[in-house]
Structures are given as structure tokens and as C-alpha cells.
Amino acid sequence: MTRYVGVRLLQAIVVIFIVVLIVFFLLHRIPGGPARGILGQQATQQQIDDFNHAQGFDLPLPVQFGRYLGQMVTGDFGDSYVENQRVGDLVADRLPKTLVLTGLATLLALLVAVPLGVFQAVRRGRASDHVLSMVNFVLYSTPVFFLGFVLIIVFAQRIPLFSAQAPQGGTLVEILSDPRGLALPVITAAAGMIAVFSRYLRSSVIDNLHEDFVRTARAKGASEPYLLRKHVLRNSLTAIVSMIGYYIPVAFGGALVVEQMFNYPGMGLLFWNAAQRSDFPVLLGVVFVIAVATVLGSLLADIAQRLIDPRTRKVTP
């Protein structure tokens, strides 16, 4: 296990290194280079040269990359072009809010998808399974913002149950104390996950129901609910954990749209605003932080999965 964690940690470091490489490449694709981005179109060539020299952009690329890598690893993402703030501070303020949004959405999705998936697996091939599959696919196929729009129309305008505006508070406490505002963004973000998770769980449970050990238990006289509880769900748990690990980047992508739609003050909105104003340090900083969060998330998911499974948990001769 220790060895496994070591190897996975090393892999994660390599992955983050490659991420930095990609982001570095993108930085150098900025039209006119970072200098134009900061100094604007009116800057003279002299000003640009001076800026490039001061920032080290005239050094050989490998040297620049080394310096950039050092900055990224220490959390120094530079200054925003637009706002008079360090990118690191902006991200540090927004990241927890996005994590709250996606965390709550994931929780909600699991609460709905697990029973749904199990139900479908047990009723496989019957009318109820087909109908739910169909609903699932439609949910998956609906663009997040279209769904959000429909939800706002129904649950904020026709039946004014929730607010169409996300909580705008500056702190996490303020955000969490506005459930009416939080409800629609969370439900919208959870919808796609419900579709994917329940589909995944359905096939995992079907697979497990056909395992030999389930047949063995059935031959011992176990009832179907007992089999599900004791033998199938436990084994599907590992599948759920790895599924969440895989889903982290998709969830961030969804957050980008949901935050923009409901004006929720998270990383997605920060990113979108930065894109509108070509604020490259913020764009790349956010990309880097999200990539690191994803890598760490899947690392944790993998380790958790191995901890659940006795085959990989410990080795006793």
C-alpha cells in the first residue's frame, strides 16, 4: 500500500509537470505575447522590449519554463491584468465557493442516483427501467444552461420556491445561509451527474448480481434484498468511489456554466469574466489550480478505493 501510494504520488507529480507544460505553451500563444496583453495595443516596441526584459521573457525558453515552474509550484500565478490583485488571492477566495457548490451537487446526485441505479438494475428490462433510462438520457442530453433556464422558469417564477439569483455573499457562511439561492445552482449542477452516476451504478449492480459469489450466497438461502445489501452494494461502492474520481474534471466544467448562469461567485465565474477581458494570468492560474485539484481528487479516490478493498488494503501471508 505504501509503495502504491508512493508510485501514485510520483505519477501525480509527473502529471502536474505536464499540466504546467501545457499551460506554459498556452501562455506563449497569447497574441503579441504577455507584454501586449498587459501594456495594451498602443505600447511602443521599446516599452514592450523593456517589459519583456524585466519579466525575463527574453531568456531562452527552457530557462523561462524553469522559472515558471518554480512560480506555479509555489502558488505565485502573477498579477491580474485587469484587477489590481494577485491571481493567487483571487483564486484562494473563489475556490472554496466552487468546492461548496460542486460538493453539494455531488452529494445530492449520489443521494438520488444510488437508489435510482439500484432500482433500475433490479428491475432491469422492465417498463420502469426503460422509462427511467429514457429520462436519464434526456437529462444527460440537456445543456446545463437550458435546464437551468427551465428550472428558473418553473421554480423561481411560476412557483416562487427558490431564488433565480445565487447567493452573493463574500464568505462561505453567507453563501450557506441562503438555501433558497443555493438550491437551483446545486440542482442544476447535480442533474447531469445524476444521469451519469445512476447509469454507472446500474451497470455495476447488474455486473455484481451476476458474480459467482452472489450465486453462492443465493444458494445459501439469502433473500434478494439481503443479497443487494450485503453482497452487491458493498462491491459497487468501489465503483462509485472511482466514478467520483473520474467525474471531478467534468464537475468543474459544469460549474463553469452553472456559475455563469446563476451569477455564483466561484472559480467558474472568475474564469469566465477573465475570458471576456483576456485576463490571461487569471485564466491560466485557474486552469492550473483546477488541474491540480483534479489530480489530487483522483489520487484520493484511487487510494480510498484501495482502502475499501481488502485485496489491496493489506497483505498478510
Site for other proteins in 37-66 (CB under 8 A): none
26 near other proteins, rule: CB under 8 A: yes
Residue 311: count other Cβ atoms within 10 Å of its Cβ. 7
311 near other proteins, rule: CB under 8 A: yes
Closer to other proteins by CB, 44 or 314: give it: 314
Residues 246-305 that bind other proteins (CB under 8 A): 249-250, 252-253, 256-257, 260, 271-272, 275-276, 278, 280, 283-284, 286-287, 290-292, 294-295
Closer to other proteins by CB, 62 or 125: give it: 125
187 near other proteins, rule: CB under 8 A: no
- List all residues 6 or more positions away from 21 whose beta carbon is below 8 Å from its beta carbon: 65
- Check if the beta carbon of residue 198 is closer than 8 Å to that of residue 121: no
Binder to other proteins among 111, 211, 229, 263 (CB under 8 A)?
211
Contact stretch for other proteins (CB under 8 A) within 55-63, 74-82, 109-117, 217-225? 217-225
Binder to other proteins among 24, 30, 71, 93 (CB under 8 A)?
30
Q: How far apart are CA 195 and CA 109, in angstroms?
A: 9
Instruction: Name the grid cell of 114.
Output: 444510488
- Check if the beta carbon of residue 267 is closer than 8 Å to that of residue 289: yes
158 near other proteins, rule: CB under 8 A: no
Measure CA of the first residue to CA of the last residue in the chain; give whole Å.
Answer: 15
Sign of CA dihedral 89, 93, 96, 99: negative
Task: For residue 303, give the 3-state DSSP assignment.
Answer: helix
Instruction: Name the grid cell of 213.
Output: 459469489
Binder to other proteins among 94, 97, 202, 231 (CB under 8 A)?
231
Residues 107-146 that bind other proteins (CB under 8 A): 125, 130, 133-134, 137-138, 140-146
